[in-house]
Each structure stands twice: as C-alpha cells, then as structure tokens.
Amino acid sequence: FSNQMLLPGAQTVGVNAYENPDLEGLTPLQCLDRIVYFAGSLGLRVILVRYSAKSDNFYSERSWYIPGDAYYTEAQYIADWVMLAKRYAGTAVVGADLWDQPRGQATWGAGNATSDWDQAATRAGNALLAANPAWLVFVQGIEWGSNLQGVRTRPVQLSVRNKVVYAVVQFSSDPAPNAWISDPTFPSNLRPNWNQYFGFIVSGQIAPVFVAEFGTNFKYPSDYVWLPRLLNYTAGHFSSDQRNDLPPGHLGMSWAYLAVNPGSAVGGIVQDPDWTTVDYTKMYYLQPFLAAPFSPLDPGVPLPPVNPNVTQVYPFPTFTSTQAPSLPLYTALRTSGSQIVDRMGTPVRLTGVNWYGFEGTAFIPQGLWTRGYQALLRQVKDLGFNCLRLPFSNQMLLATSLTSGINTFQNPDLEGRTPLQCLDKIVAYCGLISLRVILVRSSNKANNFYNEQSWYIPGDAYYTEAQYIADWVMLAKRYAGTAVVGADLWDQPRGQATWGAGNATSDWDQAATRAGNALLAANPAWLVFVEGVNWGTDLRAAAVFPVRLSVKGRLVYSVVQFTDDWNTNAWFTDPTFPDNLRPNWNSYFGFIVTQQVAPLLIAEFGTGFEKTSDYTWLPRFLNYTAGQYFKEGHSALAPGHRGMSWCWQALNPGSQPGGGVLQADWSTPDYAKLFHLQPFLSAALPPADPSLPLPAVDPNVTSLVPQPTIQASSAPTTASFSYYHTRGHQIVDQHGKSVRLAGINWYGFESLGNIPQGLWKRNWRSLIDQTKSMGFNSFRIPYSNEMLRNFSVVTGVWWDMNPDLVGLTPLQCLDKIVDYCGQVGMRIILDRHSSERDRFIQEPLWYLPGHDYYTEERFIEDWVMLAKRYRNTAIVAVDLWNEPKKNSTWGSGDLATDWRLAAERVGNAIQAVNPDWLLMVEGVGGATWWGGDLSKAGEFPVRFKIPHKLVYSMHEYCEDVSEQKWFTDPTFPASLRPIWDLNFGYLLRQKIAPVYVGEYGTRFAHPRDYIWLPLWVNYTNGQYTSDGVNDLLPGETGLSWTYWALNPGGDTGGILMDDWTTPIEQKLSYIRKAMAPLLPTYDPPIQGLGVNFTVNSTIAVPAASRYRTLHH
C-alpha cells in the first residue's frame, strides 16, 4: 500500500462493481477492511507492506519519507503505521513489513538518523508495537531489499521481544541483470552469496527470515536452475541440495511469491488477460514448498475496535438463490470423419474431467459437503477444462431417491431437491459458464458398478433393457437444447459384454445401436458415445461390426486408458516399453481415428505417478491424443483438425487410479498433474450464436428456459464516448491518465470481398468477442476508398452465420462492427490502406497520379465523410495512409510527394468536422520498412490546427517479411536499437509525440525471430536502451500497437490458426507482455444511420437485471 491510499479523500478506480457490489462507494481503506476480514474467514493471513509514500511513486522515492515534503515526513510514516496497528489488531493481519525494498539513500549502521534504515525501523517498529504488541515487525535489508549483512553488527532492537523478522527480496535475471547468475561459477556460487547476505540470520539462530518477493518468468535457461535451488534453500538446504540443515521440528524460511498479478515484473501466478487461469509451470515448482493452511479466525472472537466513522466492516455476505440460472443458447455438436465439429463445421475438441457422485448412494456429486457446486464448476472452467463428464445410476433417477452429503449453507438452492432436480441445476450452471456436459450411465443400482456385468441386470424385474432405454429417452428429452452434448451409454462394458458375437443379450454393439437410436428419436442433436468392451479398452471388433445409428454424424467411439497404477498391464512390463505403446493403442482403438471411421473420446485416463513408468506414459499418451499417432514428435493430423477428445479421471480427490485434479481439501489443484495436462487443454467453447435455431426442447421441462435474444435490423451508431489526446509521448484520456491501445489488425475491407475476412467460417460478433477475450483492447481495420463507393458489394460471407449482414453495403457492415465494438469496449483505429481494392503494393502515393477518380481531393473527401459518420463512436483514431513508400518524401516541400504536408492537409480537413480523433501519421519508405522512416519528423513536424492530436506511426517486422541489413549485421541483436532510435525512438525519448506501431508480427520462420520479438516487445514496453532498465516514469505506458494480424495466413501467419478459431499460443505468450487493460463499454441510444433498431418487447426483464445510479 501507499500512505497516500490511507488519506480520507482517496478514491478507488478500476473496480467491477457488478462482481464486487460490496466494494461500491467505499474508500480504499474500507476496501482493505473487507479484504482483511474475508481473508481471515478463509484462514489466510495478511502482511501489510508499506510500498511507497505516494501512489505509483515507488521508483522515484529513495527513503522511507520524502525529504522536503511537508506531509510525507517520518512522523506521518510512523503515525500511519500506528493507525493501522490499532485498526487491524486481532484480525488476519499478522504483521507489518515496514518499507519495501529499502534503496537510494538508505544505509545500515552508518550512524546517520536521516538515512540509517535500521534506526528508522527501530523507531517505527517500537511505535506500532506500543499500539499493537501482537504484530510481527518485518524489516527488509538495504540495496533494494537484498542486503542484510549489517545485521551482524547492528541488529534491530525492538521493545517487545521475539517480534522482529528480517526480510529480503531475491530475483533471477528476469527483471534486471544479476551478477551472481552471470558468474562463471553459477550455480555453485548461489548458496555462499545467500549465506553471506541473509542466510546467516537463520543458520545463526538470530531471527527468522522472510523472503518477501521472489520469482521468475523463465525467460532464461538459468531460471530453471535458480528457482528450485532457491526454494530448496528456503526449505533448509543451506549447505547443499542433498542435506537439510534444519533442526528437528523446525520449518524453513517464510516467503511470498511475486505475484498474484499477471504482468508483474516476473509475471503472475494467474495469467493475462483473464486473471483466472493459473500458471501451472510456476505452481509446479512452488507447490512442494507450500506450508500447511491456517485455521479460519474464530467467528466467536469479537472484532477489533474499528474507527466509528467506518460502518462497512462486517462479514462477507452470502448469496442465496431459489432459482437456477437460466441457460445460454446452445447448438448441437456433430461428427465429420474423425472430428467432432460444431454447426459451422469447425473442429471441436472436448478436454474435460469426470466428476463422480451421482452414481453413488448419496445421489449427488462428491465434494458438496465442503464447497458450493457453482464455485466448484467455476474452478473446473478456471483450470482450463471445457467439458464435464457426469456418471449417474438409473436408481438416482427414481422420484423416491433422496440426496445426502450436501452442505446446504454452501448450496442453499439444492436444499430439498431430488437428485434429478440437482442435476438440472448443475446442467443449467454449466450452460451459464459455457462448460459442456457428457452424461455417462455408470450402473443400474447406486454404488453397484463392480457387481454389474451387463447394461441391464438379468432377472431383475425393474432394471431391464427396456428401463435402461426408457431412462435414456427421458434424459434426452429433458436436456435437449442445454449444455449436455451427448450420452456415454455405458461406462466400461465388461463381464458378459461381447462385440459382434451375434447374441442380442450380450452383444454390446447391438444394444448400443438400440439405445442410441431410441434416444436420437427423442433428441437427434445429441452425440452418442459408445465404449469398447473389456472394461472399455477394446474397440478392435468395431472395424468389422460398427455401430450403425439412424442419424448420421452422431457416433463417437470411446475408450478408457490407465497406467498399471490400477491393474497390472502387460504393456508396461514388456521389454520394448515405451516403444510398444503406439502399436497397441493403434490396434485397440487408434485406427478409429487414423482410418477416419469416427471421432474418439478418451472417457477416462489418469495416473498418480506411483511408478517411474507413469512419467513416460502420460506425456506420450497426451501427445498421442494430440495427433502423434505413429511417431513421437510428428503430428499426423490434417490441417485444421483437432486431436482426440478426452476427460481426465477425475475431479474428485481420492478417486482411483491416481487421485483427482483437486487435493483432499477439494480446493487446491494438483499442479503436478495439471503441469502435464495444461498444454493439451482446448479453448473454452462459447455459447452458440443466438441467430441459429435451437434444437427442440421438451415442453414438459419447464426448469430449463433459454435466455431471450435481442435482434437488430442494423446497428445504432452514436453513443456517449470519451476521446483521447496526447501529452508529450503519451496518449491520455480526458482525466489525463495514460492510455495504451494494444490491439490487432483485422483486414478484409481493403480486399476484393469488401468485408473483414473469416466471415465465411465465423459469425462476426463471435470473432470480436474472441479477440477481446484474448486480451486485445482495440482493432486496426484497413479499408480502401473503392470499398466506400456505392456500387461496392460484399462477398465471401457465410450468410446463414451472419444473417444481419445480408443486403448491406460494405459501409453499412462497417457501421455494424463499429457499433458492436463500442458495446463490448473495443476501440478502433481506421486505416486507409489503399485507393483501389487489393492494390496496396502497386500504389505509389496517397492518390493515384493521372487517375480521374482517386485524386487527393477524393482522398480528403472520403476521410471527411468518415469523420462525420463515425464521430462519437468506438473509432478513436485514424491512420491516414498505410505504409508510404519510397516515392513519397518528408520535408521536401514538393506538394505532389511530400507526405508530411499532405497529412497536414487531410488532418486539418478532418479536424474541421471531427475534432476528437487522434490523427496517426506514418513515416515514409526510406532505408527501413515502408512507413517506418520518421527520422525527419523532429526537424519537419506535422502541424495540425488542433494541437495534441498527433500520433506518429510506423511498422516493424522481422526477417520473415523481408531481409533487412540489421538482421545479418554481425552485431545482431545489438544492431536493432540504433535503427529503432534513428527512425522513431528519438520521438519517444525526447517526448516529442507518441508513436503507434500500426503493424508488427512474425511466423517464427527464422531463428533470429525468437530473439527479435522479445526485444521488440521490451522496447514497446519502455526499454528504449539496452541496459535492461525501463525508461518510463510511473504512470506512463509503453507504445500503443496493433499486431498483424487476426487473420491466418499472410506475411506473419496471424494469431488464429487456419480454422479461424484456435489461437496460436506461442505468439500470444510473447505479446501478452505488452497487453493493456480493457477499455470501458458504452450504452448506445436507439437510433442510428437511417436504420431501425428493434428490441423484442415481449421479453420480461428479470429483477436481477434492474439498475440504479450511484453518483455519476
């Protein structure tokens, strides 16, 4: 925290009040009250650390007070600590870290009261202990918190004994160069240095040591050595990795990893952009060193005295509901060859997890005795799974069955419900958060799986084949149009089950055909999953006796695979292991996919890593499911195809074999398993496009109600919008806060189709939504002047997927995109790419010399028309001309070629009708990339009539796009920054104007691309020199940019694969480091460009959607 945050007039910003309704209208200190109290209720402890005096001023402050400042004195610093010590006595706060990373003027033991940090820490510590003697006092070393050598001669002396804890900060080479790691003796030099700088405090029994911040982004190979060695050191391996030096019963050093926050100096424990997905690589290393959890604070203990002016300190409220959430709209999946595909034909891969319990005697998924079902399902999605496989028994479906083992305080809306009604709730909530569900019939009777040897119970009057089929038909009707995508007809066929023997009472392939056809008659939208015999492992007979369903495109074969953790498996004791695995997999089930018979679901697989062979089996099996069917490291998948779908065994801790992905507390993930699984998880599956028809729903099922849809005949255009201006080298909003546009190009309006590409496979809104979900906050949309002409028509669109674009002109389609971007918080930079469609490379100037239509006058007139049309919309900036080439000049004074003068003419014309837009002006051709030479902009600046609207723009590419001399320079990569600085970097360093990177990208086709891209990202983030230090001041942002491009193909291959759906994570992992926060949305009025916007007035707005106002 900062001392400024404690001021009574401080206000919070950046809080989603919908997600955090109890923080709305509170001061920062009142928000801290809430966090501290709720942390205590969960059993978390809190350490408060004073980070800086002023907010966002950490690097500028060199002492614990601000010399010469009338307010931020040492006296105020101590007074604030005393106030906090009183306020949070008896709460989850266990102590105070007095100053983060002492630096600058701070000394230790020098005898100077104004600079000696050990003396100041003593004064502050004793003052807060007088107010609250229960707290620990954490005192960091000097030199950015790394050096505690002064403790040998000048320890901190507190008035209350056993309250001092010394603290240090340790990093690898990620944030800044580290001489210890570049030392030739690395890593053997680490322990001697750690012992000298801080370890002696623990080994000498002086005091505890707390490692206050440490971390790595695994940017360098040495990081993989440094992190486990440091963790072992904190655990007591002070002399070697092989020996723990702690006395019996002692614990190692306490520590706090940097940080939860994505985007911190070494990345976070959760990832951008969702603040949800766990970084399993980091957790894989950290988890073995995590300490036991604390108990929640006793609710019977009275709260500490609180400032009477603060009335909002009370327990975190619980939310109760009497009605399950309504379902998003879903469309069915189907099959095509070896692929599961969606309605548009795009391959889909289900990567899920089993959740057991409905098949047991409690008739409810396990874990609900300790957690809420909604929280568990959210965690399943947050862990990266997109599917849930739910086993059940036929007995659970009986109306007389009762649930047990539910904590109704955590699950108030399940109280008093039958098992089937509880399943309704779970299915509905899965739909709400876009998880898909596969129902799997585990057994007839509850908890009777191993005793049943057929899909019915021979001789039983109730559990007959007729009842088995009738139950599937009932479920198929009940869950039509919901998150349930299919039925796994019988889990692990075994015992009497045969395949192809011709016996109606034992042949599972015949029974599966009968059951599958019956449920498809009730619900033709479902997939039908059919497992092999011999406990679900063997599909060899399917090659001769395939299952034949009455509805095409619905059959998915299914298998179960485990290591020999569970049962002895001859494959693992074979002398040829692991080379024998692929031939066996191909023989037993893989041929189903490789011969394009049908898709395959691995219904259950897993391991507890009980044997050494498990570590070989699991990555090899995951690679196999991902398409490496014949050879490790070689994918046999056709372009655009996905691998086999799968569901891990299981969510449940303690399940066999191998336990679950959650540990015994039903909360903590098993990161060792997720470390292997995460690279193979598929993208989340969004709800289907609401313009597509729903499958029929049984009218008797009233609890599963689809959400209403809103339809528009065309998009509205205007809304209340804020615009940006410039200040020095920063783009800022109306409040003066720096803004960073971090976006992506989506091209097509400038091409022959007159429409952004990809709409032949996807709905246009879904592409915009996905782009936002990947973390981008803006689009750069190229267009041609020809596209604006009245005779232009749109081609290359799948009209069934985009019915609201039918009959529109290209410009009206742009209206739609602009408005929807505004609604979802995306900003747009409009880029005039060319005069004629698909002629960008051939056009020498901003006009076409000798052409009677594409003149400079037309160039300006079209910009003026667009400026009027899109004023007060999501378009916040315009790139006046894309990539001026060598024909253009800068500063020559020639009206026919001087692009700088032409930019002034068109810019001033735009400002006359729309003074709000930022005007982006690219450089000329020169000796660098087209549009990249701004070397003369300092001498010959662009001058607009309205100031503070100019942003210079350039493009930067790698060796993929074109050879450039700096890539082959012997000094590469040192050759890069001088080129950047010459052409545009000086504009930033001298704070002349902002620079916007309109295009950059790579295919990673050359080894040097892997060096260029991270250096370029660092440069855009503010590392303008090669010293590794960020040159931005607090509150400033790096360069705005738009990656080239969303579209697959092209110069750089795009961010999406050829299926126009799957992101290329390799590229995103680099550019996420330069992502910026998402921007606010707006509410459009019901009016537009001569079009009608209609809302279905028959839809009642539920009470939960009513709004109110608060201040502004």
Q: How far is CA 1084 from the centre of its chain?
A: 28
Neighbour tally for 459: CB within 10 Å: 7
Of 861, 772, 783, the C-alpha closest to 829 is: 783
> Which of these, 452, 558, 454, 451, lies nearest to 506 by C-alpha position?
454
For Cα atoms 1074, 1080, 1082, give the angle at the middle one, nearest 5 degrees.
145
The dihedral sign for the CA sequence 1024, 1029, 1030, 1031: negative
**CB neighbour burial string for 983-998, b if at least 16 within 10 angstroms, e if fewer:** bbbbbbeeebbbbbbb
One DSSP character per residue, 1018-1062 reads HHHTT--STTS---PPTT----EEEES-SSSBTTTB-SB-TTSSS
| Closest C-alpha among 214, 207, 249 to residue 232 | 214
Q: Dihedrals φ, ψ of 579, to 5°?
A: -65, -20
Total Cβ atoms within 10 A of residue 628: 19
User: Would you say 759 and 859 are in contact if contact means Cβ atoms under 8 Å apart?
Assistant: no
Contact 1074, 1041 (CB under 8 A): yes
CA distance 480 to 520: 11
Angle at 265 between CA 234 and CA 662, to 5 degrees: 60
Q: Is 607 exposed, middle or buried (0-12, 13-18, 19+ CB in 10 A)?
A: buried
* Closest-CA residue to 766 (of 1087, 424, 1056, 438): 1056
Tell me which residues are annotated as active site: 883, 999
Residues in the chain: 1112
Which tokens sit at 526? 């479902």
Cβ–Cβ < 8 Å for 601, 645: yes
| CA separation for the pair 1047, 1030 (Å, rounded) | 32
**Please, what is the Cα angle at 815 between 814 and 817, to 5 degrees?**
60
Tokens of 276: 């949800």
At 373 the three-state DSSP class reads helix
φ, ψ for residue 152 (rounded to 5)? Answer: -55, -40
Name the burial class of residue 737, with classes exposed (0-12), middle (13-18) and buried (19+) by CB atoms within 10 angstroms of its CB. Answer: exposed
